[in-house]
Amino acid sequence: MYRAVKVGLVLTLLFMVVLLSQPGVVVADSGKKLGPVSGEKLVFNVRWGVVPSGTAVMNFNRVGESGYRLESSLKSYGAMDFFFPIKDDFIVTGFESKNQLFADVYTKKQNENGKKRTIKFHFDRPNNKVVFSRNEESREIPVEGAINDYMSAVYSVRKRDIKPGDSFKTTIVLEKETLYEANIWTEKREGLATPVGYLKTIPISIVVPKSRHFKNRGDFVFWFTDDERHMLAKIKINAGVGSISMDLVEYDDGRGGSSRDLESEDDN
């Protein structure tokens, strides 16, 4: 059961970010400084139902004039750590062009229930393919149109102008070369009570009709802050294994603001 929860969470995150790497969202006004800036750090509490199960950390930094480096980790704790311990680390390097991020290399160092392996995606955009490797195994995945790793896609979408009422269809590709068509809706703005305070957000719903889950609008929703940062504030998934959620519990936005500011206000 715990393994199913973990696998469902990771695949769902992969669905989300690859979906959003596709065309269909209006590019942000170049005069606005939307999205992540160097030095940003986001920390999430991962819950299965009401049970705290893990911590996810995401860091964004600039490399040179147009490059970027994303580092992320997912670590289990509590009951999840006892039944199915997880310690995964992710590194993505790439470049920015026209307010979008494009990955060159995605690397995942996986340590789950004592089993270790390294997974890599090399994005060969001129030849419309991705070279996928897992330990010593390697194969090419042909792709058409925009595609990205899940971390770069999330951060790239944050650099766009997200408007309620937008909707579009797109196609996603997974590790086993399986294609899925999905529908995406940008919902009405919503106030959200979070561990880092009350946030104005824009929810986005995703429906994947041919998947085992996420067939109904509302099964899979995530929230961006409705400001220039477009920080990921929450994800909620209703799947066959129950409800899984990720809640922002700590942040440093790289712009001079952080969750520590809220703690200082509470102390006063």
The answer to whether residue 20 scores a pLDDT higher than 50 is no
The answer to whether residue 3 scores a pLDDT higher than 50 is no
What's the rounded Cα separation, in Å, for the pair 46 and 76? 9
Q: With CA atoms as reference, report the closest residue to 155 among 56, 35, 256.
A: 35
Mean predicted confidence (pLDDT) in 85-101: 90
How high is the pLDDT of residue 39? 96
pTM, entire model: 0.82
Band of pLDDT at residue 170, cut at 50, 70 and 90: low
Comparing 18-22, 28-32, 89-93, which segment has the lowest mean pLDDT? Answer: 18-22
CA distances from 24 to 8, 28, 129, 191, 219 (A): 26, 12, 21, 25, 21
Mean predicted confidence (pLDDT) in 132-156: 80
How high is the pLDDT of residue 2? 44
Q: With CA atoms as reference, report the closest residue to 248 among 41, 7, 11.
A: 41
Band of pLDDT at residue 9, cut at 50, 70 and 90: very low
Band of pLDDT at residue 13, cut at 50, 70 and 90: very low
What's the rounded Cα separation, in Å, for the pair 63 and 94? 9
The answer to whether residue 266 scores a pLDDT higher than 80 is no
The answer to whether residue 109 scores a pLDDT higher than 60 is yes
Tokens of 222: 């995530």
The answer to whether residue 125 scores a pLDDT higher than 60 is yes
What's the rounded Cα separation, in Å, for the pair 232 and 56? 12
Which pairing describes strands 137-142 and 129-134: parallel, antiparallel, or unpaired?
antiparallel
Mean predicted confidence (pLDDT) in 128-142: 86
